[in-house]
Amino acid sequence: MLRRLLLRSAVALAVVAAPMTVPMAAVAQEAPHATVVPIQVTGPPAARFNLVILGDGYTAEDMPRFRAQVDEHLNVLWSIEPFKSYREYVNVYAIEIESPDSGVDCDPDLDSPEFDTPLDMGFWGGCNPNSVQRLLTVDRRAAIDYANLVEGVGSSNRQLLAIANSDTYGGAGGSYATASGGNALSALITPHELGHSLGGLQDEYDYYGRGEEGAPYTGGEPSSIHHTLRTEQQMLDQQAKWWRWLGEESESGGVIGRYEGGMYAGSGIWRPSQHSMMKSLGYYFDQVSRERMTQRISSRTSLVQSSTPTSDPIGADRVVWLETQHPVSHELDVTWRVDGQVLADTANARSLDLRALDLDGQHTVTATVVDPTAFVRDPAVRSSNALTATRTWTVDASLVTEVSDVEPAITGSTSTAEPVGATDVVYVDTTHPVDQRWEVDWSLDGSEVSNPGNDRDLALEPFGLTGTHTLQADLVDPASGAVVDSRQWQVDATDPQVSYELSEPLLEITTPDGPEYVFNGPFTMGLEATDDTDGYVVPEFRQNGDGWFNYFGWPTDADAPFLFTAEGTEIESLVYGKLGESRVVPWDEAAPGYGRHLIEYRAIDPAGNIGAAEGFVATLLPEPPACTDTISAPRSGRLVVASGVTCIDGTTVSGQVVVAAGASLVATDATIAGPVRASSAATVQLLTTTVEGPVSLTGTTHDVTVVGSTVEGPLTLVDSTTDRDPVVAGTTVEGPLRCSGNDPAPVDLQAPNEVHGPATGQCADLG
């Protein structure tokens, strides 16, 4: 995938047409050879923001691994706003540097080997015992020397990203971003570190060294745009910080507000969102950070790429034109004015025929280009050079324009090498004669489509496309009506597909709203995303409507499924997989995530299509108590559970089972050929178990759970005072179901029971 040349314009084709193998003798004595591979070229390097990706610690044999990792890193990046919308602003070049050794220094420990690698990358801040393990550094001078191999790219219009051949979690976000290549979270390190390097954003962590909450913040109001000491009301009253976004549903989940902790301080400072890219890898940038990133990406290029020259006066007998940037998600707005007065009916066109204005004397003509993105609310950002540009011409009607022949041609366009997405804005640029305007006609599957106004851009979203289509732009000579040049694209309007695989549930329920599963303990979910086109597909999931979270497998193993638990799993002092209220670090206070949870999932394909969300409900029950005695072979006769926890596991007990006061019974996949009676027991759990007789549970003190079972007689539950709701769910009761005096009352987890007798008392609605 890495070697596909996504050449986005004819101009770019002349800039970099193939990988370039560059001997490095001029850079470093006996340094390895490097190959510059253009991944995505949307225009001339001088006119674009250029992302230069360098690999370190990859031998020649390791290079396929580097290419696959770059593909994943980029596709994850393109799935995250604002990179998704502004992908056309970016050129991407990978520099493949064959390393003498495989790996990087001090990985994972300070006493790990140091290797001979071109960029001298290393964990622990470059093997510094006073640093932290995850700080992955690069030799700045070497990185610059290799990056300089990309012609036309300099420090003012590029961002360096160095990827290390390592499976250890790590990265850094100084002037040059770094990330490990093979960790499950590696592709998410890249956008986070670009948040630092490109966006100037700060960490929203409430710790510096993992495992220890940061000290309270003691400084003044921070300069960081996404940290504050102010209250929400103060932000509103003073129109400060993120006041324009307060109360909005956060792109990273929850609501934009005021959440304590950040900039490595555990308290005394506040951030906009509960979790976002700068707090928790896997979530999106929230609106505050996204606005800054939009500004920074746009500032690395120019909204107006070229235009009719503005240096000298021009005649009133010509066509004035400009070429703009082209976001993938929307068109830029162009407003034309003559002597300060807005011209009506220009309809966002990229050219103006002065002859139609019948001008005499001298006049000033201006074209103002504004990015109308909803990602920006700050007027100062909107009016900055990043999002607003103006071209001004002096028009003198006494001047006569010299007309020269200009061949009609399409000079640049959205890449035709790869499919475009169903909601993309596709563009072409053309040559520009001074005495006429070439027209661009668009057709979809051979049928002409209307595109009034700015005919250089076509928005596909209004067509509501599905499946695969062919889009064509034809350059038409208005004099003859002949098509003189064209571009053609495949439109990928097929959503990516996601399948899931869960660990074995205690109970599976089919409902009109979708599947539901009951688990009595931790469970795993694996997601597999596929698409009809090549490239890494990005799967995501969310729970209970919270923010979408990148599915990366499991932090310790990208191929392992994601593990959900009530409290979350602590890995290297961070918490993953907690159900319900989020918990990122061990000291976060959050209620255990027992109960029902909606888990939704979707995927984003390489063309940018976001699949429709699907989902299931998972209900988590507490794990059974630990067994003190286990019966796993058939047993005959009466069984008395006098103390401790007796577990009947996948076998048959032929006879009555009696549970004494304070004792517990857990029967799983079992058959009990006789009645079950418990009086003042601690716990009684009948899990996918058949009882060939009545069940009577009186005065249970801790837990009653009857799920997916069959009771061939009456089921009576009275006077329990359990720690949580008694559960009778997905169970068949051949006789009556009687419940009374229970505190709290029994529930069915919305998993209907089949009751052949009357259901009475507190269980009247459970049958």
Q: Is 140 helix (H, G, I), strand (E, B) or coil?
A: helix
State in Å, rounded, how far the first CA of the chain is from the last one: 57
User: Each residue of 372-413: pLDDT tens digit?
Assistant: 999 999 999 999 999 999 999 999 999 999 998 899 999 999
pLDDT band at 11 (very low <50, low <70, confident <90, very high): very low
Burial of 462 (0-12, 13-18, 19+ CB in 10 A): exposed
Query: Rounded mean pLDDT of 730-751?
Result: 96
Separation CA 538–CA 9 (nearest Å)? 27
pLDDT band at 32 (very low <50, low <70, confident <90, very high): low
pLDDT band at 345 (very low <50, low <70, confident <90, very high): confident
Helix axes 287-299, 186-197, angle to 10 degrees: 70
Question: Residue for token digits 């009086």?
Answer: 679
As a whole-number percent, the residues of the chain with pLDDT over 70 amount to 96
| Closest C-alpha among 684, 625, 679, 631 to residue 654 | 631
Separation CA 451–CA 221 (nearest Å)? 50
Element spanning 14, H or E: helix 10-15
| Closest C-alpha among 446, 729, 407 to residue 596 | 729
Which tokens belong to 9? 């314009």
DSSP 498-550: EEEEEPPPSEEEEETTEEEEEESS-EEEEEEEE-SSSS--EEEEEETT---EE
173 strand-pairing partners: 177
Separation CA 228–CA 222 (nearest Å)? 6
304-396 and 497-620 in the same fold = yes
Average pLDDT value for the chain = 93
Query: Rounded mean pLDDT of 184-192?
Result: 93
- How would you write 437-488 as a 3-class SS string? CCEEEEEECCEEECCCCCCCEEECHHHCCCEEEEEEEEEECCCCCCEEEEEE
Residue 723 · residue 705 · CB < 8 Å: no
Which tokens belong to 151? 């012609």
Quick one: CA torsion of 163, 165, 167, 168, rounded to 10 degrees? Answer: -70
Domain with residues 410-493, CATH architecture: Sandwich (2.60)
User: Each residue of 73-118: pLDDT tens digit?
Assistant: 999 999 999 999 999 999 999 999 999 999 999 999 999 999 999 9
What are the extents of the domains in the chain? Answer: 6-197, 204-280, 304-396, 410-493, 497-620, 629-761
Which tokens belong to 554? 């499991």
Query: Rounded mean pLDDT of 548-570?
Result: 97
| Closest C-alpha among 255, 237, 259, 234 to residue 246 | 255
| Closest C-alpha among 415, 553, 429, 475 to residue 87 | 415
Cβ count near 181 (within 10 Å): 27
Helix axes 186-197, 63-78, angle to 10 degrees: 60
Question: Edge-to-edge strand order for the sheet containing 549-550?
Answer: 507-511, 514-519, 614-620, 595-604, 538-543, 549-550
Separation CA 43–CA 14 (nearest Å)? 10
Q: What is the pLDDT of residue 18?
A: 36
User: Each residue of 204-239: pLDDT tens digit?
Assistant: 999 988 889 999 999 999 999 999 999 999 999 999
Which tokens belong to 116? 């001979």
User: Each residue of 463-518: pLDDT tens digit?
Assistant: 999 999 999 999 998 778 899 999 999 999 999 999 999 999 999 999 999 999 99
User: Each residue of 351-361: pLDDT tens digit?
Assistant: 999 999 999 99
Q: Is 684 left (phi over 0), alpha (psi -120 to 50) or beta?
A: beta
What's this model's pTM, rounded to 2 decimal places? Answer: 0.91
Q: Specify the pairing of strand 467-476 against strand 439-444.
A: antiparallel
Separation CA 69–CA 63 (nearest Å)? 10
pLDDT band at 167 (very low <50, low <70, confident <90, very high): very high
Domain with residues 497-620, CATH architecture: Sandwich (2.60)
CA angle centred on 7, ends 4 and 11, rounded to 5°: 155
pLDDT band at 14 (very low <50, low <70, confident <90, very high): very low
Length of the chain equals 767
| Closest C-alpha among 70, 56, 41 to residue 121 | 56
Separation CA 379–CA 725 (nearest Å)? 53
pLDDT band at 602 (very low <50, low <70, confident <90, very high): very high
Distances (CA, A) of 622 to 446, 507, 753: 60, 14, 20
- How would you write 227-255 as a 3-class SS string? CECCCHHHHHHHCCCCHHHCCCECCCCCE
Q: What is the pLDDT of residue 73?
A: 95
Q: Is 110 helix (H, G, I), strand (E, B) or coil?
A: coil
Separation CA 21–CA 656 (nearest Å)? 81
CATH number at 304-396: 2.60.40
The CATH homologous superfamily to which domain 6-197 belongs is: Collagenase (Catalytic Domain) (3.40.390.10)
Q: What is the pLDDT of residue 282?
A: 96
Q: What is the pLDDT of residue 478?
A: 79
Give every CB contact of residue 24 below 8 A, 6+ residues apart in sequence. 31, 32, 33, 34, 118, 145, 146
Query: Rounded mean pLDDT of 648-672?
Result: 98
CA angle centred on 229, ends 225 and 231, rounded to 5°: 100
* Alpha helices, H only, 562-678: none
Q: What is the pLDDT of residue 695?
A: 98
Q: What is the pLDDT of residue 45?
A: 93
User: Each residue of 265-320: pLDDT tens digit?
Assistant: 999 999 999 999 999 999 999 999 999 999 999 999 999 999 999 999 999 999 99
Q: What is the pLDDT of residue 295?
A: 98
Element spanning 389, H or E: strand 388-396
Is residue 180 predicted with pLDDT exceeding 90? yes
Is residue 690 predicted with pLDDT exceeding 50? yes
Separation CA 55–CA 98 (nearest Å)? 9
Give every CB contact of residue 752 below 8 A, 6+ residues apart in sequence. 509, 730
Question: Residue for token digits 């459970």?
Answer: 766
Q: What is the pLDDT of residue 401?
A: 95
Separation CA 475–CA 460 (nearest Å)? 19
Give every CB contact of residue 428 below 8 A, 6+ residues apart in sequence. 410, 412, 413, 414, 440, 456, 473, 475, 487
Is residue 541 predicted with pLDDT exceeding 70? yes
pLDDT band at 64 (very low <50, low <70, confident <90, very high): very high
Separation CA 448–CA 433 (nearest Å)? 25
